[in-house]
Structure 1
């Protein structure tokens, strides 16, 4: 089932992902063409290069049975003789718990020995440990120093890391121009994450003039290497027609690639595609599966989407209790949709005890973030004294905030207050303007209200043709008051329609006819929807 616009949209954005994953380069041998027997012979003779090489063969199962313990033993022998590659390799094994118990203190000690001998991989690894608190106290300034040494030797991971530090002002003064330069050096060596980062810089005009075509080119390079950030960015470009022709099939193909690598924003996007049949067949069950994957990683909009699926029986039987759990997870992260939905559940007693006070609190949180439907709902609570004393002035203020954002419910409700003179000075001209704005968005109540104003000549010249047109529009949507209004017009032939307010209806004398029920400008407020 397609998700309505009031529920949620695909509000995604690109960003530079935190540089917080260990990606130390694996050790490599000096020469893979030397026969195994010579590695063994020279290693046993105490040659450190051969000891390192033999350790590498054991670590990778090349020519011998894979044996990490043997690898560590040979790396240690070479490292004890000051072989920088062996020092790095031994640190790598300790860092990853291969062939020895994981020991970050030992790992960093050996990284430092190798780094001080100018080993670029070790310099990068030591910088990473300092930047991320991997067995060492965080010291970003020192981390930058080691990244700089490594990057100057052409180490691509260090170049990317240094770009990231400059981009975010971590351990060094923020400098997008420097960030761009280092990202480019790394990207030119084929690193997918650096290619994505370079695309992001061009996309956002950071350190250079914005250039969407360059951004797309680098996103494509990154995506072609299966970098999940690049795949997501390229999907986003196709979904929104940014730098490429809009193409949902391409967009969701790239989103899927990224989602399958565990990227939460891509998982949410793919779920949205399945929910709405964008680039993929509409499938509520698949949508829920992908939303759940994203939600389990803590993404608030996905948590809201999971709740919405349970609340509305999309891809799963309706379960209000579970819906409330997920809405709360999203709301507790400050997600405006989640706050609004949780308020709705409190107000209706769905999946949780009915509590207008809590509903009011959550509507306010959402409304304070600028969510128009929450602003309308908060106005409704003040208007009707739900969870608070009735306050027409406060109601009008919140209806206005909602109406100013183009929300048809807010426009309708504020129009009604202008007509009745509650919370605002009575002003039928304003009422007509607001009824019209809401009516033109298809709001049946506002269409009826606008017809009512035309029929009675309130705030506008009396015009029964216009009245009939607007009543018909509302009646076509099944609004009973409008259907009644058309019947009244046919029977009455132009008599005044009496507005008795929201309390109900009362008989109205018609031209010589028997008593017919008149109709009122009812304060019909639609059911709030999560």
Structure 2
């Protein structure tokens, strides 16, 4: 498929050829992506004077044409000017169009009472929807909601732990602040004890104190405590008895449905069939670390079609090794027919995660592809400029 007018305009923007970009984007008519990009050019003064009114007008048109990003941008623009009710309306429109960031902002506005009466129930509903849609910032917001509005330090700890794992630096400080509040809860509160044990052992370097608390929760059958204590025991090099007990605890947690317990059993298993059993459970529970491990083990068993599916799942999750493996498998026809478009897509997608490992391989296959196939791969990878460079380079 040839590049559309919008894509040619986007390509011109990436080349910083703004006059040509506007010409192409304007010729795209009612393509909401083109209208949005025209608004961004006006707002940033790229190739033309900065024009905030024009930017907002174009964003409104793009949103009316179905652009979730435009609706979100309008919500942010009005919020910056403290026009909160108007902002909330645009965020709602963005949420209706599938923008997870808009869901999060609606939750924040309900939590803080901006543009709407404060309502922590509605705040939680929208923040949970945002987190389920993949917005990592929502984890921290949920932690804040439970810590300071719901006064529920256990749930706050759960969300701050998730936020910390997702890379939120402020979550670490919040976890430290929760420690005295968790200590004040009744001694018989299993979840509070487990959260406190995890924070102490894994985040505040109080390993022995954390392990002591986790031991009590393990005896009460808490799967998260079982898995967490197993991590501590498994890391104690030179203590085979502890490692043996760690595997028992991983299994107990996994049998209770804990994905990370299953993952660790799968990694440790020497029998490939047992490894696949546990790794598949972990993968189906959404443990991203399991995707490449499961695909590798399935490949050992010549279950190539399923292996390719898990490599692709990992690639979609941003896993570099999975991207490279998926590209090579599509190139060579493992797990399905040869598909050079998908192969090039994943080689180029490595650029999105800061890796140039696929470029050399990409150059090897473009001679077998048409210009349209190369551009299609670039479109799928979000790397239209890189794809066009390959088109031009093979002609020289």
| TM bracket (short chain) | 0.3 to 0.5
More helix per residue: 2
Q: TM-score, normalised by structure 2?
A: 0.47
Q: TM-score, normalised by structure 1?
A: 0.36
* Higher radius of gyration, 1 or 2: 1
Higher relative contact order (CA 8 A, sep 6+): 2
